[in-house]
Amino acid sequence: MATEGADAAVEPAPPRQVTLGAAVVLLAVQSSVMTSLGLLLWHWSGRDAAAFVIISASQVLYGVALGLALIALAFALLRGFPAVSEKLVRMQAETYGFLGPRLGLPAIAVISLCAGVGEEALFRGGMQTLLGDRVGAPGAIALSSAVFAAIHLGKPAITVLLFVVGVIFGAAYWLTDSLLAVMIGHALYDVWALRYLHREFVRLGLVGDPEPGPLANRGNPG
């Protein structure tokens, strides 16, 4: 006859949640891999590796302007269509809910920087450049943006939005020929977008208990 203890022993364990610290480390590793792959594709296209990212004051300004323009556009659309905004937030709660209610600005900055550098290095600097030599700029922007949107594994509406964002970054890269500019623009936009998502998650009660750590906001939530 089975004992009560034996019955308890076979109960499935609760799923382990990814901690904020572990997620940041994984994102940093992912960014490094993406950057390396982007540089490899760039070199494969026959270009000098030293020209992959060129740093200048004008490119920094382009990047800041791009990021601020995207933030202004997104802010206007989300404020103008609050019902749609809430639906989009709820769609992403499953992806970003692990961040917890006390997510601090340092974590947001690190996550955004990893995404801005790694994703732009791979999809714009590497993939779009290589494809552009073969199918032309419009086709390269569309194809690289489609892959960029697909790898996020979001719901259909989110995937479409990510494709549009990818096209914007791709067009900006094509027009400015500056990978640094799109990296900065992407990172700045992500800081704002992630902060907005987090505040909405808290407001709507979509995040669980915080995972304590050095990157968490230890003050009162809100």
Distance of CA 44 to the CA centre of its chain: 26
Rg of the Cα trace of the chain? 20
pLDDT of 54 > 60? The answer is yes
User: 128-159 pLDDT, tens per residue?
Assistant: 999 999 999 999 999 999 999 999 888 899 99
For 83-87, 97-101, 113-117, which range has the lowest pLDDT when averaged over its residues?
97-101
44 part of a folded domain:
no
219 part of a folded domain:
no
User: According to the model, what pLDDT value does residue 213 have?
Assistant: 45
| Phi, psi for residue 26 in degrees, rounded to 5 | -60, -40
pTM reported for the whole predicted model: 0.84
214 part of a folded domain:
no
66 part of a folded domain:
yes
Distance CA 161, CA 2 (A): 54
Residue bearing tokens 């020209």:
51
Residue 24 belongs to what domain range? Answer: 20-32+55-204
Within a 10 A sphere around the Cβ of 78, how many other Cβ atoms?
17
Query: Into how many domains does the chain fold?
Result: 1
For 39-48, 69-78, 174-183, 213-222, which range has the lowest pLDDT when averaged over its residues?
213-222
